[in-house]
Amino acid sequence: MDLKMQLFFVYAYTIIFSALLGAMLISISLVAPQIWSDVVPNVSTSGPIEDGLIIFLYMMIGAVGFVVINKLGLVKYAIRAVELLSILGCFSIASIIILQYLGLNDLESSIIGYTIGLVFLARRMLMPMEMNNMYGMVVSAVIGALFGVMLSMEAIILFGILMALYDIIAVFVTKHMIDIAKAVVSSNLSMIVTVSRGNAKPDFGEKKDIQKARRLDLGTGDLFIASLFVVCSLKFSLLLFLIMILFSFLGFFATMKLLETMRRPIPALPTIVGSLLIGYAFYFGISMAFHGLKALVF
């Protein structure tokens, strides 16, 4: 199997796992809203646009912080701390969601869930060179599930567009995203998922031939934002969910095609988010056509 397909399966498994967690979380919050009221305040399909702006602002504050810390030569320590906290929190939350969906009460699921989170945290600290992709996939899936359930589609669309624009600037203009990626890879952190032949080193050069590449990398932020759209679509209909899954996959392959053409490190979000927006528009086109046909018939 070539590297492109290997990376696709990492991408696809993350989105599908996030969708499963999102579906469980929606079910739990509807059955036992008192348990998840602070985490999932609203599972409707409407919400303020301000949410998208606020989350984007937080992301920008974090990005500026990483740039400053990188200039001070401390970025790998800061990212390591964020990574370890994310592993503890996300593995615990994923376990709690699954256990409560299976019928355990709040106390039982919390005890077992946080124990599982601590086990994976300890494993990451003791064996930092192993299972990078798994950690990145689970963290991305959990964050995607939580925010996909909490936010409205309007907020997610706004957030996705803003992040795609930021991604372009960060890679092509300021290029600080390349610097952060180098720091993440050199420190063997799980904020980038990787497929490779052997122990191939990352290539951040200007001429990247994907056909001859021995390694491909994808940021976990790309996984998280794709998961956001897919999970949120669960609150609409099965048809939109399937369409968003399909167009998220098309967005991945569009990114790979663009990488083949440009032969240099590129931002993945513009093509992924763009494809998802096309899928969302396609869904509404189908819905309008169906309702128009229904009105004519009946």
Q: How distant is the alpha carbon of residue 142 from its chain centre? A: 8
Residue 34, pLDDT score:
47
Confidence (pTM): 0.85
Decide if pLDDT at 39 tops 80. Answer: no
5: tokens are 């397909």
Helix ranges (DSSP H) in 32-175: 33-36, 50-71, 75-101, 106-126, 132-150, 153-168
Instruction: Give the DSSP letter of residue 215.
Output: E
Residue 9, pLDDT score:
95
pLDDT tens per residue, range 150-159: 888 988 999 9
Decide if pLDDT at 103 tops 80. Answer: yes
168 band by pLDDT with thresholds 50, 70 and 90 = very high
Name the more confident of 260 and 29. 260
Instruction: Name the most confidently modeled range: 31-45, 50-64, 160-174.
Output: 160-174
Residue 181, pLDDT score:
79
Question: Whose structure tokens read 């795609």?
Answer: 164
Residue 285, pLDDT score:
86
Decide if pLDDT at 75 tops 50. Answer: yes
Nearest C-alpha neighbor of 160 from the set 278, 242, 64 = 278
Decide if pLDDT at 228 tops 90. Answer: yes
Residue 41, pLDDT score:
46
Name the more confident of 235 and 291. 235
Buried b (16+ CB within 10 A) or exposed e, 60-90: eeebeebbebbeeeebbebbbeebbebbbbb
**142 vs 19: CA distance, rounded Å:** 9
Q: What is the mean pLDDT of the chain?
A: 83
**239 vs 98: CA distance, rounded Å:** 25
**157 vs 154: CA distance, rounded Å:** 5
Residue 189, pLDDT score:
79
Whether residue 225 contacts residue 269, with contact meaning beta carbons closer than 8 Å, is answered with: yes
Whether residue 280 contacts residue 161, with contact meaning beta carbons closer than 8 Å, is answered with: no
Residue 45, pLDDT score:
42
Whether residue 227 contacts residue 141, with contact meaning beta carbons closer than 8 Å, is answered with: yes
pLDDT tens per residue, range 206-221: 555 555 667 888 989 9
Give the pLDDT mean for 167-188: 82
Residue 94, pLDDT score:
95
Instruction: Break the chain into its structural domains and give their ranges.
Output: 3-297
Give the pLDDT mean for 286-290: 77
